[in-house]
Amino acid sequence: MTENLQSEIIRLKKEKNAIVLAHHYQMDAIQEVADFVGDSLALSKIAMDIKEDRIIFCGVKFMAETAKILSPEKKVILPVIEAGCPMADMVTAKQLRKVKKEYPNAKVVCYVNSSAEVKAESDICCTSSNAVAVIKSIDAKQILFVPDQNLGSYVASQVKDKEIILWQGHCIVHHQLRYENLVHIKEKYPDAPILVHPECRPQIVNHADFVGSTAQIIKKAGELKDKKIIVGTEKGILYSLKKQNPHKDFIPLSDRLTCLNMKKVSLEDVKDALENERYSIEVDPIIRQKAYRALKKMISL
Ligand code: CIZ
Ligand code: SF4
Query: Tell me: the pLDDT tens digits for 52-75?
Result: 989 999 999 999 999 999 999 999
pLDDT tens per residue across span 30-55: 999 999 999 998 999 999 999 998 99
Say if residues 207 and 235 touch (Cβ distance below 8 Å): no
CB 213 near ligand 1, within 6 Å? yes
Q: Which atom of ligand 1 is nearest to the CA of 129?
A: 8
Query: How many A from CA of 115 to the centre of ligand 2?
Result: 13
Q: Which atom of ligand 2 is nearest to the CA of 87?
A: 1
CB 83 near ligand 1, within 6 Å? no
Q: Which atom of ligand 2 is nearest to the CA of 84?
A: 6
Say if residues 20 and 34 touch (Cβ distance below 8 Å): yes
Query: How many A from CA of 213 to the centre of ligand 1?
Result: 6
- Integer Cα distance of 74 and 72 in angstroms: 5
Query: How many A from CA of 45 to the centre of ligand 1?
Result: 14
Mean pLDDT of all residues in 3-27: 97
Query: How many A from CA of 231 to the centre of ligand 1?
Result: 14
Query: How many A from CA of 199 to the centre of ligand 2?
Result: 9
pLDDT tens per residue across span 157-181: 999 999 999 999 999 999 999 999 9
- Integer Cα distance of 274 and 13 in angstroms: 7
The closest alpha carbon to 194, from 202, 183, 72, belongs to 183
- Give the distance between the most distant pair of CA atoms in the chain: 57
Provide the pLDDT for residue 53: 87
Q: Is residue 25 scored above 90 in pLDDT?
A: yes
Query: How many A from CA of 2 to the centre of ligand 1?
Result: 27
Mean pLDDT of all residues in 86-92: 98
Burial class (CB in 10 A: 0-12, 13-18, 19+), 233: buried
Q: Is residue 1 scored above 90 in pLDDT?
A: no
Say if residues 92 and 264 touch (Cβ distance below 8 Å): no
Ligand 2 pocket, CB under 6 A? 25, 60, 85-87, 113, 171-173, 234, 259, 261-262
Q: Is residue 276 scored above 90 in pLDDT?
A: yes
Q: Is residue 209 scored above 90 in pLDDT?
A: yes
* Distance, CA of 27 to chain centre: 15
Long-range Cβ pairs for the range 9-13 (8 Å, 24+): 9/33, 9/267, 9/270, 9/271, 9/274, 12/271, 12/274, 12/275, 13/274
Confidence of residue 135 (pLDDT cuts 50, 70, 90): very high
Which protein residue's CA is at the shortest distance from atom 7 of ligand 2? 171
Counting ligands in written order, the one closest to the CA of 198 is 1
Q: Which atom of ligand 2 is nearest to the CA of 88?
A: 1
Buried-exposed string 7-29: b where 16+ CB fall within 10 A, e elsewhere: ebbeebbeebebbbbbbbbbbeb
Say if residues 88 and 113 touch (Cβ distance below 8 Å): yes
**CB contact set of 65 (below 8 Å; sequence gap of 6+):** 76, 115, 116, 281, 283
Instruction: Report CA Rg, the chain.
Output: 19
Alpha-carbon dihedral sign for residues 211, 213, 216, 220:
positive
Counting ligands in written order, the one closest to the CA of 45 is 1
pLDDT tens per residue across span 224-263: 999 999 999 999 999 999 999 999 999 999 999 999 999 9
- Please state the pTM of the whole predicted model: 0.97
Mean pLDDT of all residues in 102-121: 98
Mean pLDDT of all residues in 181-204: 98
Counting ligands in written order, the one closest to the CA of 170 is 2
Pairing of strands 194-196, 163-166: unpaired
Counting ligands in written order, the one closest to the CA of 172 is 2
Provide the pLDDT for residue 79: 98
Query: How many A from CA of 216 to the centre of ligand 1?
Result: 10
Mean pLDDT of all residues in 186-213: 98
- Integer Cα distance of 261 and 80 in angstroms: 9
- Integer Cα distance of 50 and 45 in angstroms: 9
